[in-house]
Amino acid sequence: MNFIGIDLEGVLVPEIWVALSDFTGVKDLKLTTKDVSNYRDLMKIRIDLLNKHKIKSNVLFKIAKKIEPFEGAKSFLCEIRKNYQVIVLSDTFFNLSSPIFKKLNYPTVFCHELVIDKKGMVNDINLCIENHKKLTLKCMNQMNFNTIAIGDSFNDIGMLNEANYGILFCSNKNIQNKFPSFDTCDDYSALLNKINNFFQ
């Protein structure tokens, strides 16, 4: 039995918060998990910035609806779902990224939820569980699956460590240099070949 845990933003689609930064002009919203290793710290920075600049959730939702999968991402995801059990393991938010899931043909996704107040401001997050990516891979290993994890950022390292085979996809040199034990890849065709070769 073969299982793949794959990240969403940076791997299958562009970063929502980078797009929000471009739209609003708030430079520090460009920070992602490639820049800040602690996810809770990153989200505190983001929420503080949203409130400081009075950016309501409807603006965030508007940006998310415009996000398109990377070229080749949808067909790649379809292909691996034909042959393997796949879950998208993401630190995105279900109430934010639903339009993106639709564009990817509704894969199974484990992610979080934004907490929005009556005025439409984001004031907190509901995490499904701490380290859900790592714990998912750990559970799959305990269930005797052969496992692959694919990610691009610091928040993916836990699941890549748990997997039988970890791949950094389109990651930056800083992360690749810090974690040289993981395989690296920059296009979906090569990634598909790596997956199929490992599971043979």
List the catalytic residues. 7, 9
CB 168 within 8 A of CB 179: yes
What percent of the chain is helix, strand and coil (3-state, nearest 5)?
50, 20, 30
Residue whose entry in the numeric block shows the structure tokens 């691009």: 152
CB 112 within 8 A of CB 91: yes
CB 149 within 8 A of CB 5: yes
Angstrom distance (rounded) from CA 157 to CA 179: 8
**Per-residue H/E/C for 68-95:** CCCCCHHHHHHHHHHHCEEEEEEEEEHH
